[in-house]
Structure 1
């Protein structure tokens, strides 16, 4: 797809017009400590992406940081508050137009509040590619997703929820005066594993949910595009713990799924004790089976099948070019379902750059980092994407 060279100017005009009129007060600074993550009740009126409150983070090497609580929407379009961070290079932006923003969708941290990306250490993605993005002068927004840090259980791998929060992190970044970021500039979505799903969902939802954004590129790797295929692969596999997290995440997003109704005694114990689990707990469940924890497999029921289908990528092809990549030896997220997403996007006319790396799930994240940054750099530079559909 050829990018309209007048689109950035039109978007800048739209952004300027939207800010005209009555002055909008600066958002307040939020409370210290974990109280920051508990939103006011009721949630103040506002638009998706509005900042509820914020506070500065300790300076990092070459970047200023901000912790935000901002408005977004759940998988079922309910207004929610979501936490996240914005990182802005200390060096002035000297490129044409506003400073670019990359909304990074984090990989799996877990489902408990203590696992939120803004809390979880070490931040394994920062040295791999976030630091490189900052060195290029781009601002980076990083959502905590729904229910990580904030009240409620994290809606792990639920696509519409993740897409909303990734998109609204960009809006929030430009609505925080302290960050000094202007609306109307080029935007990209990037993520791996759970984050690959979040970035791809943001790309699919942006044309309808945030048409004002100038989305120039999407980088999505290790992407769980078809949750049913992923679930069948994980059942009995080394990554079975990720399937447990996914079941809890879907149940949190869609209460009518009623996961507890399918659990045996062992499953009930897990349900009651592991809702604060972080990613380090996942491999304690390696090679488990759904049958070990249930009296009946919920994934085979009509209700669960419908929600799994609803969370399959590909029904809303993105308008921006996509770098879609995967490890050829991925033992967690099957390569086959990522290849299927590639075919779907290509058939819909999306400019897809497809890449495979000789690595399993974790090593592919490291192998691909440089290519991700270079791909987004070309999109921000206005270079045409080279599709290899």
Structure 2
């Protein structure tokens, strides 16, 4: 049984939609039993404010959404988690019709894993049928949709995969930039994220009101958000047996590549075999589907030359990708598929328990679905949740 909690009412609803795969649940259940951005220093020339528009242009119609009356590609200023200025890219989709009084509410879409290379940026590629249908749904509700690529993905620097704070900065700052070029947008906004984007959305929720007090942040919706990975990866060792999880080697390689970029002092290559270094190097240039195709049959254990559980690696990983469990000031809805073989349900169950312990009151609902299918399956619950956030 999985607890579903509605934050606004404080009531408990117990729902059960199926069984978590026994191998994954057993393994992970046993395993799991157990800030604001930094200011950039002054220089002879003032740095542009986060969210300043660098460029804008109409989005190629082949990359747009069918329900968008207008679609524009933006580049804008943001920050890495260190406070260093970055330029990021994203897209603004606006539905047709007259905007309501007070402007169109904004859904900030945080996308799932595509890769690290610039060619993998969502703004440079047609959206998948799944993502198109999902974003069309929010446009149909009358919301504008802004979609950040995240720093380094389609812009300068290497994208640091699952560096949640850097991604969160770019999401908040895209809302600012979008309002600068589209006056019909309201100051009211929510963040909605899937998979990697769910991780980014949680970081966004944790920082949004402090980072952009001039905006009216209302809350957060995630589906299949990864968490507690800092507890799982340190058990890795050479010849570690394969787990029944989809895309684990590709996801692991993206994490290693991002961590290597963010923390050069870790000497991540020293943890890797020759094959491991090849795979992690490839993760910097290959998109997700290409990684899957090239390294089918390669397991996490094949990448490792020594265990990851030493004194250095777990702390570095936790600092890099850990999800905050306190400091939330707006409602949260976490949706999880019980048959998810990318982000197994026990990871999310632990996250929800930690969020409650940290003072948040998230609503948590489960569905008898896999990783991506949870997006559509949750809409009967998440659509009214988002509408309630924008009410008033």
Give the TM-score taking structure 1 as reference length.
0.80
- CA deviation profile, 1:187-235 (whole Å, cap 9, x unmatched): 1000111011011110011133223321112001111122224536997
Paired with 2:356 and 2:70, the residues of 1 have a C-alpha distance of: 39
Q: Equivalent residue for 1:152?
A: 157
Structure 2: give runs of 5+ residues left out of the alignment: 1-6, 10-43
Q: Equivalent residue for 1:275?
A: 284
Q: Equivalent residue for 1:198?
A: 200
Q: Is the 8 A contact 1:207 1:318 kept in 2?
A: no
Structure 1 residue 379 corresponds to structure 2 residue 389: yes
Paired with 1:200 and 1:221, the residues of 2 have a C-alpha distance of: 11
- CA deviation profile, 1:3-57 (whole Å, cap 9, x unmatched): 9xxxxxxxxxxxxxxxxxxxxxxxxxxxxxxxxxxxxxx9983111111111112
* Counterpart pick for 1:180 among 175, 180, 183: 183
Paired with 2:82 and 2:311, the residues of 1 have a C-alpha distance of: 18
Deviation at 1:71, TM superposition (A): 0.8
Paired with 1:138 and 1:340, the residues of 2 have a C-alpha distance of: 32
Structure 1 residue 54 corresponds to structure 2 residue 62: no
Paired with 2:258 and 2:194, the residues of 1 have a C-alpha distance of: 18
Q: Equivalent residue for 2:132?
A: 127
How many residues in Structure 1 have an aligned counterpart in Structure 2? 339
- CA deviation profile, 1:214-261 (whole Å, cap 9, x unmatched): 111200111112222453699723322211111112222222233223
* Counterpart pick for 2:315 among 302, 306, 314: 306
Q: Equivalent residue for 1:168?
A: 173
Deviation at 1:381, TM superposition (A): 1.9
In 2 relative to 1, CA 90–180 (structure 1 residues): closer, same or farther, beyond 3 Å?
A: farther
Paired with 1:376 and 1:304, the residues of 2 have a C-alpha distance of: 38
Q: Equivalent residue for 1:113?
A: 118
Paired with 2:232 and 2:384, the residues of 1 have a C-alpha distance of: 29
- CA deviation profile, 1:255-296 (whole Å, cap 9, x unmatched): 223322322221222233342111213434456433312322
Paired with 1:268 and 1:328, the residues of 2 have a C-alpha distance of: 34
Deviates more, 1:320-329 or 1:126-135: 126-135
Q: Is the 8 A contact 1:111 1:154 kept in 2?
A: yes
Q: Is the 8 A contact 2:260 2:266 kept in 1?
A: yes
In 2 relative to 1, CA 286–331 (structure 1 residues): closer, same or farther, beyond 3 Å?
A: farther
Deviation at 1:182, TM superposition (A): 4.6
Paired with 1:164 and 1:247, the residues of 2 have a C-alpha distance of: 21
Q: Equivalent residue for 1:34?
A: none
Q: Is the 8 A contact 1:229 1:337 kept in 2?
A: no
Higher RCO (C-alpha 8 Å, min separation 6): 2
* Counterpart pick for 2:96 among 90, 93, 102: 90
In 2 relative to 1, CA 287–77 (structure 1 residues): closer, same or farther, beyond 3 Å?
A: farther
What secondary structure does 1:97 align onto?
coil
Q: Equivalent residue for 2:264?
A: 255
In 2 relative to 1, CA 211–160 (structure 1 residues): closer, same or farther, beyond 3 Å?
A: same
- Structure 1 moving runs of 4+ over 6 Å: 232-235
Paired with 1:93 and 1:72, the residues of 2 have a C-alpha distance of: 28
Paired with 2:323 and 2:356, the residues of 1 have a C-alpha distance of: 13
Give the TM-score taking structure 2 as reference length.
0.79
Paired with 2:206 and 2:318, the residues of 1 have a C-alpha distance of: 15
Q: Equivalent residue for 1:210?
A: 212
What secondary structure does 1:318 align onto?
coil
Deviates more, 1:124-133 or 1:97-106: 124-133
Structure 1: give runs of 5+ residues left out of the alignment: 4-41, 383-389
Paired with 2:56 and 2:148, the residues of 1 have a C-alpha distance of: 13
* Counterpart pick for 1:71 among 66, 77, 87: 77
Paired with 2:220 and 2:291, the residues of 1 have a C-alpha distance of: 28
What secondary structure does 1:49 align onto?
coil
